[in-house]
Structure 1
Amino acid sequence: MQTVIYMVRHGESPKTEGNERTRALTDKGMQDAKIITELLKDEGIDTYISSPYRRAVLTIEEAARSAGKEVLVIEDLKEIVFAGEDKILQDHEVYPLVKKMFAEPESSLPGGESMTIGRERTVAVLKKILKDYKGQKVAIGTHGAVMTLMMGYFDSQYDVEFLFTTSKPDIYRMEFDEDRLIDVTRLWG
């Protein structure tokens, strides 16, 4: 019995307002969320789950609503905490940090978490989703680093180089037989 997971990386989000948890989507991000709704509408998704971060919820919220579903928020699907829960890092700060953290998975900044800890946290959630929603189709509103960590757990080709080829937003359809990844298809772009 196959379970299908749709990893939906959030849309473009401003790094000028709020904090990591509260920042929303740019106008482009909101327009892209409408495209995501169109791309997912015929997929027959049973359940919508998201990171608690507002940008991830907003990216899949309209798709869930149009399917007559609500978005279930799971705290442990949040993005890697790079430098304290609320601190927003600009792209020129975060990209070199992410490269270093993938190369040295135990490293972290003060107040942040390591890739190892983030991977353990998010993969545990994904394994539970695969068990609890066996045979269903589940869309997950997620973030670049944790999406890559979860996908990379099942197939090592999903690494830091893969992460830097993804876009905001992005969608990957992952087919599982039990807890074995059997196929991945990119739906965005």
Structure 2
Amino acid sequence: MQELYIIRHCQAEGQEPNAPLTILGQEQADRLAAQFDTIPLDVIISSPYLRAIQTIQPLAEKKKLVIHQDERLIERVLCGTSEPNWRDMLQHTYNDMELCYAGGESSRQATERVLGVIEQWKNSDHTCAAIISHGNLISLLLRAYDGRTRFREWERLTNPDVYRLSLDAMPPSIERVFV
């Protein structure tokens, strides 16, 4: 049986790659680690962004697991410039998976990137993984397994947020756990 826990990072001080967790985010990371006490994780794969690493560090230490960093789990770049209407732009990318703003990547490109991580894990000997990433990329991953996930579901994601994806079921099942 292969189970995947998809984790959105805890509360952070910003969106830059080196943005650390807030004090509340650090407390959330400790609580998150405690919620995984009985879950037999055998691998942790994380975005290399500091907020993702700090989110999973307490759990990795508790389980005595190495954090494998994977660039494919970084935040999706919507566009190459800071745009005041970025939320509207993002919403359009849920309606048109091919829409790609200058300097960014389309929803389809980001989805294929994250699915590459999942495929690599599925072809490994690991049976229970935690993947730590960022909201937009996570919502696109969920959408790949449940086409109903859209902009509204992205808006509902919390920091942290955890979903369990069971790949042995047909179709694969997704369940929100540990909010």
The answer, yes or no, to whether TM exceeds 0.5 is yes
Please tell me whether residue 130 in structure 1 is matched to residue 122 in structure 2.
yes
TM-score (norm 2): 0.90
Aligned partners of 2:161, 2:43: CA distance in 1, in Å? Answer: 18
- Whether the 8 Å contact between 1:126 and 1:150 is mirrored in structure 2 is no
Matched to 1:32, the amino acid is Q
2:131 counterpart residue number: 140
Which of 84, 104, 109 is the equivalent residue of 1:112? 104
| CA apart distance, 1:144 | 0.9
Aligned partners of 1:133, 1:20: CA distance in 2, in Å? Answer: 34
| CA apart distance, 1:80 | 0.6
Gaps of 5+ in 1: none
- Whether the 8 Å contact between 2:145 and 2:172 is mirrored in structure 1 is no
| CA apart distance, 1:62 | 0.9
Identity %: 25
| CA apart distance, 1:12 | 1.3
Pairwise CA RMSD of aligned residues? 2.0
Matched positions, count: 179
Aligned partners of 1:119, 1:4: CA distance in 2, in Å? Answer: 19
Aligned partners of 1:54, 1:83: CA distance in 2, in Å? Answer: 21
Pairing of 1:1-189 with structure 2 (within 5 A): 2-15=1-14, 20-84=16-80, 93-134=85-126, 136-177=127-168, 180-189=170-179
Matched to 1:30, the amino acid is Q
Give structure 1 regions of 4+ aligned residues with deviation exceeding 6 angstroms: none
| CA apart distance, 1:139 | 0.3
| CA apart distance, 1:50 | 0.4
SS of the equivalent of 2:130 reads strand
SS of the equivalent of 1:177 reads coil
